Structures are given as structure tokens and as C-alpha cells.
Amino acid sequence: MSAAPVTPPARVAFLGLGVMGAAMAANLLKAGFAVAVHSRTRAKAEALEASGAAWCASPAEAARGAAIIGICVPDTPDVEAVLFGSGGVAEGAAPGSIVIDFSTIAAAATQGFAGRLAEQGVMLLDSPVSGGPHGAIDGTLTCMVGGDPGAFAVARPYLEAVGRTITHLGPSGAGQVCKSANQIIICATLTAVSEALAMGRKAGIDPETMRGALSGGSADSFVLRNHAKRVIAGQFKPGFRAELMRKDIRLAAAAIRDHGVFGPATAMAAPLVELLVNRGAGGEDLAALGRMIADLSGIED
């Protein structure tokens, strides 16, 4: 694909207005794009409409006339419904347009969706993101992008409106594989940090003092600086819900299996996330994993 980058005030679309999607759509408006939006619940679009977004009754309507169509929904079946269901993007997107899927879904499904859209001249980029709600609000998300490099170049201004670290990783599905790597690292690191804090507490060390000491050395990490604070403070309002990480780590485990990788970290962390959700913490922040490890260690608050 070879075309000029799509820049403001071009007409674009955004579908899926949860916490992440609504913030991303707002940043597209701030960047100067003319943004059409759709979500299952129109109330989620009220603030965006007040800021100038155009509400559309279906994904197809939003896609009509849009050079780029962004999607941010929870899981693989949701993406398929938005793209190919009744009133879906495929019914409205014109040849030459680009769909960017910011959802975290299976890489194999992404490749299949890309092939189906390509049959009608529409390109699909998979661009799962990292950075959470604060990154979405601030426009500082990390975008891990797979798909046609020409489409990536065309869509770059759209991506730059929502993210700060934007990396093209390879063909369709490469972004999803990178996101799986991201989730493996987060889960494994949080498990280790939670275990270390529990050990310190049982040894009589103040956990915040311990966290500060560890942050000054080679053990420093984003998880230690941020998630550990929530663990210590007992603040588990999401954030990123544990039930969403369960979905993501299942995808990661499947990718590890599909690529024949020896995956001890995934094998350790994935069952712990399953246990956390099964214990009723699915709606809490993933940092509740630290509370569970403390509980199982016999630590009473």
C-alpha cells in the first residue's frame, strides 16, 4: 500500500467506547480529526459528542467515508462481530481504508480477519496497546503494530494521536504476539514482586521501605514502582481488571504453545491469574494478585 499519511482534519472513526476507547477517541478529536463514533451504549459517547464527535448507529455507518477505523473491544468474538456482523465495518468500509484493531485478541484470528478484509481492499493493522487508562487519557500508550508497512505509514498520524511509543513489528499478528510478551512479563514480574513483599512482611520489614530499597537497584521495574504500591496500600480499584488479564494470559499461553516455546514463566503465572479470578477478584485490579499471595502466605492485614 502506497499513499499519503492520513492527517487532520480527515474523517476517521472509532468503535468501542469503554474506558480505553473513549479516551483514545477524545485524543483523536484533540488532534483535529473529524471523528465518527459508535458503541453498544450511546451514553458512553455523550462527552465525545459534546466535544464534536459524530454518533453513528452502527459500525458500518461509522466506517462509511472514514479513512481509518479504530476498534477497541474486549475479545476476539467482539472484534469479529464489529467487523463482520450485521451492520459491521465490512459493510461500510471503502477500498483503500484502514482498520486499526487496538484490542488484544488471538494472533491467528487477527490474520484471518486481515485476509477477509483484504478481499474487499481494506487493510487491517493489529495494534494492541499497553499503558492502561492513564496512558489512554494522556495519549502516551505503547502501540505494538502488525500488518502492511505501507498501511502503517499511512495510519501513523492516527496512531500518534493516541500513543507515544509506536513500533511496527512485522506482518499481521505480530502486534498481538508482542502484546502477549508484554502480558507474560507483567504477570511474571508481579508474581515475583508479590512474593518478595510477602517474604519481607513475614520477616518484619516494612513493605514500603523495602519497595523503596528495591526500586533503587537492579530489581527496579514498572511493576515494582506502580503495582507494588497498590499491593501495599490495598488499593485494588481497576486499573486493569484481573479478568481481562486472565483473557490475555490465556492468549499468551496459546502463543507459547503454538510457537513451541519452553515457557516456565507463563506456566507459573497463568494459573495464579486463573486462581485470582476464581477467588472472586476478577473485577479488581490485577494488583490484587499481591493480596492473594499475602493471604496464602498467612499474612493478615
Instruction: Annotate 132-190 with DSSP letters as a single string.
Output: HHHHHHHT-EEEEEES-HHHHHHHHHHHHHHEEEEEEEESTTHHHHHHHHHHHHHHHHH
Q: Which one is catalytic: 30, 179, 229, 247?
A: 179
What b/e readout covers 93-114, taking b as 16+ CB neighbours within 10 angstroms? beeebbbbbbbbbbbebbbbbb
DSSP 53: P
Tell me the three cell numbers of residue 288. 490484587
Per-residue pLDDT of the chain in tens (301 residues, 90 and over written 9): 668 999 999 999 999 999 999 999 999 999 999 999 999 999 999 999 999 999 999 999 999 999 999 999 999 999 999 999 999 999 999 999 999 999 999 999 999 999 999 999 999 999 999 998 999 999 999 999 999 999 999 999 999 999 999 999 999 999 999 999 999 999 999 999 999 999 999 999 999 999 999 999 999 999 999 999 999 999 999 989 999 999 999 999 999 999 999 999 999 999 999 999 999 999 999 999 999 999 999 998 7
pTM for the whole thing?
0.93
179 carries an active-site annotation: yes
Distances (CA, A) of 172 to 163, 257, 258: 19, 19, 16
| Domains of the chain as residue ranges with CATH | 11-171 (3.40.50.720), 177-296 (1.10.1040.10)
- Say if CB 187 and CB 249 are below 8 A apart: yes
